[in-house]
């Protein structure tokens, strides 16, 4: 009965949103007394958290499994492409796993568009530990980039992955019906190609902060110091006075 309540709540939260889904709605579809939902979960927020954490754990467990496999290889550290594939594939697996998985990916897209502190806290609790493993692996795979560059780029990948795996993208609309994202393997290959190229790109050049406009770049500063250390050349004989 508890699992049935979670399944029904998952569908309603995904389709109508948290605010528009009441205990009474969930109880009616699940064919249970609303008091039973209160008995199992206490409050609607606690029910929502339980719905989210249930499949969120399935997703993070799958991520951890793939990371463990990559990191267990002797003398062959994971590449950027392998790490990104390990991040993207489980999301599309979840989406294709059945109505519950599809609903969860849509629910996840809703949660990631919410800016209240409870939503942020829920995302931190579910995803931070394994997310930081991905960041660490990407930093090791890209030692020539500073950590800020890697962190920013991984957040971009998170956005792309969650948006495209939700099934709510607008590829069909924007391509005037020519293309759609219904085939998971094609979607993964195209996203992976795009995101890997982005990760492998050169470092971002930022404008100087206020008050730093007169500072030289590290390259120019090194060249200037080298020039100062070189001895002055003697004047040519054609310009010396007798």
Nearest to 136 by CA among 81, 75, 83, 89: 83
pLDDT at 105: 93
**What's the predicted TM-score (pTM) here?**
0.81
Contact 95, 167 (CB under 8 A): yes
**Residue 211 pLDDT exceeds 70:** no
Maximum mean pLDDT: which of 5-9, 163-167, 217-221: 5-9
For residues 103 and 11, the answer to whether their CB atoms sit within 8 Å is yes
What one-character DSSP code corresponds to residue 17?
Answer: -
Q: Which fold has domain 53-201?
A: Tetracycline Repressor; domain 2 (1.10.357)
The average confidence (pLDDT) of the chain is 87
For 19-48, what is each residue's pLDDT tens digit?
Answer: 889 999 999 999 999 999 999 999 999 999
Where are the domains positioned within the chain?
A: 53-201
């Amino acid at each position: 009965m508890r699992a049935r309540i979670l399944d029904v709540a998952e569908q309603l939260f995904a389709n109508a949103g948290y605010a528009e889904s009441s205990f009474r709605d969930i109880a009616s579809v699940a064919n249970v007394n609303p008091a039973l939902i209160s008995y199992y979960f206490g409050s609607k927020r606690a029910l929502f958290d339980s719905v989210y954490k249930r499949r969120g754990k399935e997703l993070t467990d799958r991520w951890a499994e793939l990371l463990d496999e990559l990191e267990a290889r002797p003398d062959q550290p994971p590449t950027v492409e392998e790490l990104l594939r390990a991040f993207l594939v489980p999301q599309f697996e979840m989406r294709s796993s059945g109505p519950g998985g599809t609903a969860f990916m849509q629910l996840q897209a809703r949660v990631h568009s919410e800016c209240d502190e409870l939503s942020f806290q829920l995302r931190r609790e579910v995803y931070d530990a394994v997310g930081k493993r991905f960041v660490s692996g990407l930093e090791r795979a890209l030692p020539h980039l500073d950590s800020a560059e890697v962190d920013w780029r991984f957040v971009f990948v998170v956005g792309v992955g969650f948006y495209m795996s939700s099934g709510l993208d607008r590829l069909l609309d924007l391509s005037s019906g020519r293309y759609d994202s219904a085939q998971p393997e094609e979607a993964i290959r195209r996203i992976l190609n795009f995101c890997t190229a982005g990760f492998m790109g050169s470092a971002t050049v930022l404008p100087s902060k206020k008050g730093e406009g007169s500072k030289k770049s590290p390259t120019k500063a090194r060249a200037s110091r080298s020039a100062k250390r070189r001895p002055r050349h003697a004047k040519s004989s054609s310009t010396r006075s007798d």
